[in-house]
Structures are given as C-alpha cells and as structure tokens.
Amino acid sequence: MIHIENLSKKFNDFLAVDNVTLDVKPGQILALLGQNGAGKTTTIRMLTGLLRPTQGRAEVAGYDVEKESTQVRASVGVLTEHHGLYLRMTAVEYLDFFGKVYRLSDDARMKRINHLLEYFGLVEASHRRIGEYSKGMKQKLALARSLIHEPPALLLDEPTSAMDPESARLVRDEIASLRSSQRAIVICTHNLAEAEALADQIAIIYRGRILIRGKLAELKERVLGPAEYEVSFSKKWDNKSLKPPAGVEIVARGSRSIRFRSEQPQKNNPLLLKILSMKEAPVLTLQEVPRSLEQVYLKTMSDAGGALLQ
C-alpha cells in the first residue's frame, strides 16, 4: 500500500531525507520516530506529493508520488502537525467543503459527514464555528477531514502533539479504531508510548536516515539483546550455588531475586523453575523484565551519536 524505495530529499545543500526505504501493508500501522528535524515531516510530505523526491521513488495506493501526485493526493488522508482548520467555518461546512473537493456525491457526502461527526462525538458542536472548539475537538475534526473520502492510506504527522493527556488519549483511541485490513497508516510522533500502543512496525529516523525498523519485539531483541527474565523470592535465599540448565545464563544474582537470559524460554524457563523447586527456593514470581520502546529508542539514538544520552 505504501512502498518507499531509497527515497531522498535535498533542500539546497541540506539532505533532509537520506535513502529511506519502508513498506507499509494494508492493515498495518507504521510509527516513524525521530528527533525534531529528523526528516519525518519531509517524508510525509513526499508521500502526499507535496514535495518532489530528489532521488528514489515511492508509491502510495499504487500511484507514484512524483508522476501521479494528483491521484496520490486523492488517495491519502493527511493529518498535519497543525490542524489547519478554517476557524470561521462550522464543522459541517468544513467537512462538506472537503467532501466536495474529493468529489463525493451529495448523498454520499452527507452520509459520510454525519457518520464522522457521530463517530468523533462532534454532533452537538457541528454547527458551531470551529474557532470555538477545544484543542481535542479540533484535532478530532482534522482527523475526520482526513477520513472524509475513506482513503486507503492515512498519514498522521504528530497527531497528538501539544494536546492535553485526555484529548491525546481520545485521539489515540480513535486512531486505534481506524486500523482496518484495507488501510495503511503511517504515524510520525515523538510520543513513544503512543507508538508502542498503536504501531505494528517501528522505524527510527535520525538525520534523514532510517537507523532501524521492524516489529517492536524484533527491535527490542536487536537493540537491547535477548529478553531477560526475573525470578523473585518471598524471602532472602542464598542462590550462589545455583547452576542453571543449559541455554540459561544468569546475568544478575541478588538475595531476593535472580535475573537471567534464556535461549528458549518456553523450554528452559520451566526447567529452571523445576530446579528452583527442587532446591526449595521460595519462588514468588517469574516474569519477563519489561523493556520499553523508550529504551530501544534511546539506545538506538545513543549508538547513532544522537544527543539524547550524551
């Protein structure tokens, strides 16, 4: 649905996007993470046919972004960083205008507007000027605008930036509900929790280059190493003499817990539990040590020479 191949964009001497390759299939959500100025918005703008790539190519909904930019623009829904609403219009007038722009018939347009207003909980405010809306309502209306023509590709640039937590949560929930087998979604965000909650695929971009991309679990494995597990004890227990089974490596020993890596957790973790049981260890819990996308991101940026951890 969205296919990007060696895409680059240069502004004079500044290389904003450098050889980016990505693939988002229908039904998938890709989160593009990176610092300010990393090239996220430029990538989105190339995907909407607003900026011409300097090199490489991209296809959205089967259309080439450079050669068929009008068709591309007709096939994508874009939510820009700033909502970009006309504040003197009402929500109905606004959606009606964009519905006409996308050439929806009168009947289809009205049905779609009513559906979207209801879906986003804006029915009551639909005849009020947009200028009177709260930030969350404005962002929801902008999202409704991007969906008015039921686009097969949705590009969301910082959809919850500068929003209060409640509004951000609302918008995030709406985005999650937009996932469908027919639609590919790209989200550019700084909000790692948001990306973790929504995305099937993560790509981290730094100075225009994609540093790493893949499913979250794969990235955790690749960046932070194999998963770690922790066994906690209900009381102090001397575990210095404990010999783990083959395929299990103990990485930290404490009087109330041990932490270990396991090559085949499905097979080895029960084995380890068995040994502990035999040694009458006061086992309380066994769980995977939680590792967040934030750790993956910070580690990746740090490795790349980003300023975050320096």
Partner 1 sequence: MKEKLTPVWLLAQRELRDQFRDWRILFPLIVLTLLFPPLMNAGAGAAVSFMNNYGGDLILDRLVPFSILIIGFFPVTVSLVVALESFVGEKERGTIEPLLGTPFLDWQLYLGKLLVGIFFPLAASYLAIGLYLFMVSKQDLALPPVHQLVQLLTLTAAHAVLMVSGAIAISTQSTSVRAANLLASFIVMPVAFLIQGESVLLFWGNDQVLWLAVIAVLILAALLIRVGLAHFQREYLLGREIDSFKFKWIWQTFKGAFIGESYSPFKWYQVQVVGMLRKLKRPLLLIVVITIFGSIASYQWTTSMIPADFSAVTQEDIDEALDQFQFAAGLPSDDVDISFGFIFLHNIQAVLMMLFFGLFSFGVLGELAFSVNIGVLGGLMAVLNALGLPVWTLFTAGILPHGIFEIPAIIFAGAGILYFGAIMVTPDPTKTMGEVFIHAVADWFKIGVGVIFPLLLIAALIETFITPKILLSIMQ
Determine, following the binding rule CB under 8 A, whether residue 142 of this chain makes contact with partner 1. yes
Selected binder of partner 1 within 25, 62, 67, 97 (CB under 8 A): 97
Amino acid making up residue 93: E
In the bound complex, what is the minimum distance in angstroms from residue 92's beta carbon to partner 1?
Answer: 13
Determine, following the binding rule CB under 8 A, whether residue 137 of this chain makes contact with partner 1. no
CB-wise, 33 or 72, nearer to partner 1? 72
Binding-site size for partner 1 (CB under 8 A) equals 30
Name residues contacting partner 1, limited to 14-53 (CB under 8 A). Answer: 45, 48-52
Which residues face 17 on adjacent strands? 9
Q: What CA–CA distance (Å, rounded) separates 176 from 31? A: 12
Determine, following the binding rule CB under 8 A, whether residue 118 of this chain makes contact with partner 1. no
- Note whether 275 and 250 are within 8 A (CB): no
Residue 92's nearest CA partner among 64, 115, 66 is: 115
Residue 85, SS3 per DSSP? coil
Name residues contacting partner 1, limited to 145-184 (CB under 8 A). Answer: 145
Selected binder of partner 1 within 62, 84, 254, 282 (CB under 8 A): 84
Residue 310, SS3 per DSSP? coil
CB-wise, 5 or 93, nearer to partner 1? 93
Determine, following the binding rule CB under 8 A, whether residue 74 of this chain makes contact with partner 1. yes
CB-wise, 139 or 239, nearer to partner 1? 139
Give the pair of three-digit tokens for residue 307: 């300023």
Selected binder of partner 1 within 19, 54, 71, 232 (CB under 8 A): 71
Binding track over 202-221 against partner 1, x by CB under 8 A: --------------------
Determine, following the binding rule CB under 8 A, whether residue 119 of this chain makes contact with partner 1. no
Instruction: Kindly write down the DSSP assignment for every residue of 161-180, as one continuous string.
Output: TT--HHHHHHHHHHHHHH--
Determine, following the binding rule CB under 8 A, whether residue 141 of this chain makes contact with partner 1. no
**Phi and psi (nearest 5°) for 169?**
-60, -45
**Which residues have a Cβ under 8 Å from the Cβ of 149 and sit 6 or more positions away?**
74, 77, 98, 99, 102, 104
- Strands 29-34 and 55-60, sheet pairing: unpaired
CA dihedral 81, 87, 89, 95 (to 10 degrees): 10
In the bound complex, what is the minimum distance in angstroms from residue 84's beta carbon to partner 1?
Answer: 4
Residue 104, SS3 per DSSP? coil
Q: What CA–CA distance (Å, rounded) separates 76 from 84? A: 16
Residue 4, SS3 per DSSP? strand
In the bound complex, what is the minimum distance in angstroms from residue 35's beta carbon to partner 1?
Answer: 18
Determine, following the binding rule CB under 8 A, whether residue 100 of this chain makes contact with partner 1. yes
* 245 CB-contact burial (10 Å; exposed 0-12 / middle 13-18 / buried 19+): middle
Determine, following the binding rule CB under 8 A, whether residue 127 of this chain makes contact with partner 1. no
Selected binder of partner 1 within 7, 38, 56, 83 (CB under 8 A): 83
Binding positions for partner 1, rule: CB under 8 A: 11, 45, 48-52, 70-71, 73-74, 76, 78, 80, 82-86, 88-89, 93, 97-98, 100-103, 142, 145
